[in-house]
Structure 1
Amino acid sequence: MKLGLQLGYWGSEPPADGNVKLAQEAEALGFDSVWTAESWGNDVFTPLAWIGAHTTRIKLGTALAQLSARTPTACAMSALAIDRLSGGRMILGLGVSGPQVVEGWYGQPFDKPLARTREYVDIVRQVLRREGPVSNPGPHYPLPYTGPGALGVGKPLKANTHPLRADLPIYLGAEGPKNVAQTAAIADGWLPIYYNPFRPDIYADQLKDAKPGFEIAPLVMVNIHDNLQKALLPQKMALAFYVGGMGAKEHNFHKNLMGRMGYEAEAEKIQELFMAGRREEAVMAVPDPFADEISLCGPKERIKERLQVWRDSPATTLLVMGTGGAQMLRDMAEITL
């Protein structure tokens, strides 16, 4: 079992020192990777490059780079550059985000997310392989572009900077069954936001075609505290926000996933309360068993015992985040590594 540090995205201000000390601590403890994220504030690549410049060994991952934030070739350029500068430590994690962000922030259509993902990944791989000029017939990312407004002089191009690795790993964030199945077919790894090692049957059929070496790196909230109820509270707050309000009422992938995990009625209630402005009640409506199954919370000895379920699952890396700062990293390294 490998450990990764998920730093997430910034709030209203950047974290102190850009999370450099925390990433350096993770590297010194033997963590395998460190990951950044983006929503509608900081971008995902700049903090990662900053951290990469202050570390030497730890792998550098994006979880997630949003597809609509940049074209496939622009994304490949960023991944290529960080991989070269870091000496081959880059992992490119991609995700479609949701319609509220894609259409409201990026001004892009959200239709056909699976088809868009397939095209996107294929173009990125073309750039990294550098076997010839990059081209794509579309319909989502046509290269060269010949649609409205085109001058008709575009031509396929090949990256003038040679990528360090043609096989730079690409992971995908996916929640829906079809999206997870496609991830197993076209990507090198999967980044689930919620993973339930106690119910592996939820994913078994979707992952049956994964190739050997396929990585599964779930996000895992860690909160070490002697009182389990208090330890679960940060996870419940996060779930209330994502299940209740991160997405439109009819298009919330997190809520749908919670339903598929056996908590459909509870997910409906959380969304109802959250959208009514009753956010504290929404937090309390999150079932303790669900929050507990997808996280590692409670006393250190309890976490050590429950880690065995994760070890026995298909998960290969735990991307940990939560309260406790460097001490949490030291405790997890002691327990896990």
Structure 2
Amino acid sequence: MKIGINVAPYDDDGLRVAVEADQLGVDSLWAPEAWGYDALTPLAFVAARTQRARLISGIAQLGARTPAMLAMSAMSLQALSNGRFVLGLGVSGPQVVEGWHGVPFAKPVTRTRETVEIVRALCRGERSSYDGKIFQLPLPGGEGKAIRSMAPPVDVPIFLAALGPANLRLTGEIADGWIGNSFLAGAPESAEALLGPIREGAIEAGRDPDAIERTVAVSLEFSDDVESVAAKHAGGYAFTFGAMGSGKSNFYSSAFERQGYGDQIAEVHRLWQAGDREAAARAVPLEIGLRTNLLGTDDTVRETLRGFADAGIDTLRVNLVGDDADTQLAALDRLLSLIN
């Protein structure tokens, strides 16, 4: 099992965590992107201060940048990091794409496929010539010409964030890795609902499913009071189920529904929308908090690690819980000692 961590190098503590995690031997440093800081700028900052870990955008939102801009950023970061960059992409959701970026959330699977194809072609040094359903290069009827990148060709691995069945199958078909969440350790229903479509997409494309790196997001918090810490993290999902989506679409809720939690999530959503957020938090099953994170004692964390590994997860991207760098780094060191 490989361990990566989310980084936020926007103050001295955040930068220290990134640098010392690299020195401790973590596999990867991940920068998220929502509707605040972007995912690429902090990785360039961290690239200049680290030596070993892969640098992964988790995720750069489709719709926020053209495919050519993504390729340019990927080539730049690959050069600045001496080949350590991985381009993590995802469609995000209509609330962010349309509300924040002002771009229609249309045909997300097609947009993903075409973006990956264009990014790879441009990074290989091919001309900007593409005739897709969403993207046309050069733009028809204009003065643009198909041109090659001024930068030398470079290989950039591409990981895709996916939760819906169609995007999961696409991940298996074209991606180098999967950026996942909403995955319950040790649960066969999680492996089937989330890893099954990836496997199917890979086999249909003639690829080896095991060649696709499978990553899952978790939070890490050690505690002797396992039930209390599980309730805390389960309650955090109330916002995810209640607010991270509209009445028509919530990818996170849908993923858990396919794993057998439909009735419970519907109740959480109802309570949240009714304004009773405390009751919504209490309504989230403890199992969701406990089995989607690394929580509790050394023994419970080891058990969860085994559950992820047995399910076929290759890499955990860890959110370190703690108010300061010392607390976060101590927890990371403790986790690494359990694995090594």
TM-score, structure 1 as length reference: 0.92
2:196 corresponds to: 205
Q: Distance in 2 between matches of 1:141 and 1:19?
A: 38
Cα distance in structure 1, aligned partners of 2:286 and 2:235: 11
In 2: Cα distance, 1:136 partner to 1:73 partner:
11
Change in Cα spacing, 1:100 to 1:18, as seen in structure 2 (3 Å) is farther
The answer as to whether partners of 1:18 and 1:51 remain within 8 angstroms in 2 is no
**Residue identity opposite 2:182 in structure 1:** Y
Match of 1:162 in 2: 152
Deviating more after overlay: 262-271 vs 318-327: 318-327
Give the aligned partner of residue 128 of structure 2: 134
Bigger drift between 224-233 and 78-87 goes to 224-233
**Whole-angstrom CA distance in 1 between matches of 2:80 and 2:176:** 22
**1:174 aligned partner:** 162
Q: AA paired with 2:193?
A: I
- Tell me which of 264, 275, 286 is aligned to 2:273: 275
Any idea what the Cα deviations from partners look like across 1:176-198, whole Å, max 9, x if unmatched? 11110111101000011222232
Query: Among 328, 331, 336, which residue is 2:331 paired with?
Result: 328
Match of 1:2 in 2: 2
- 8 Å CA contact retained: 1:76, 1:127: yes
Q: CA RMSD in A?
A: 1.6
Q: Which residue does 1:38 correspond to in 2? A: 33
2:65 is equivalent to residue 70 of structure 1: yes
Which runs of 5 or more residues in structure 1 are unaligned? none
Q: Distance in 1 between matches of 2:249 and 2:95?
A: 9
Residue 295 of structure 1 corresponds to which residue in structure 2? 293
1:194 to 182, 200, 212: 182
Percent of aligned pairs sharing the same letter: 38
| SS of match in other structure, 2:26 | coil
Query: Which of 233-242 and 51-60 deviates more?
Result: 233-242
Residue identity matched to 1:278: D
- State the Cα distance separating 1:125 from its structure 2 match: 0.4
Select 1:228's aligned residue among 216, 219, 226.
226
Measured in 1, the distance between the counterparts of 2:145 and 2:233 equals 49
What amino acid is the match of 2:4? G
User: Does the 8 A contact of 1:52 with 1:86 survive in 2?
Assistant: yes
Find the partner of 1:183 among 163, 166, 171. 171
Unaligned runs of 5+ in 2: 323-327
Q: Equivalents in 1 of 2:267, 2:179: separation in Å?
A: 27
> Alpha-carbon deviation of 1:322?
3.4
Contact 1:98 1:110 in 2 (8 A): yes
- The equivalences for 1:62-141 within 5 A come to 62-130=57-125, 132-141=126-135
Does structure 1 conserve the Cα–Cα contact (< 8 Å) formed by 2:158 and 2:176? yes
User: Which of residues 55, 62, 66 is equivalent to 1:60?
Assistant: 55
Deviations 1:17-67 (A, max 9, x none): 372211122112211001001111111101111111110111100110001
Q: Within 1, Cα distance between the matches of 2:164 and 2:284?
A: 21
- Kept after mapping to 2: 8 A contact 1:94/1:170: yes
Cα 1:236–1:322 shift into 2, 3 Å: farther
- Among 24, 30, 33, the alignment partner of 1:29 is 24
Secondary structure, counterpart of 1:328 in structure 2? helix
Aligned residues: 325
Structure 1 residue 245 displacement after superposition: 0.5
CA–CA distance in structure 1, aligned partners of residues 80 and 195 of structure 2: 38
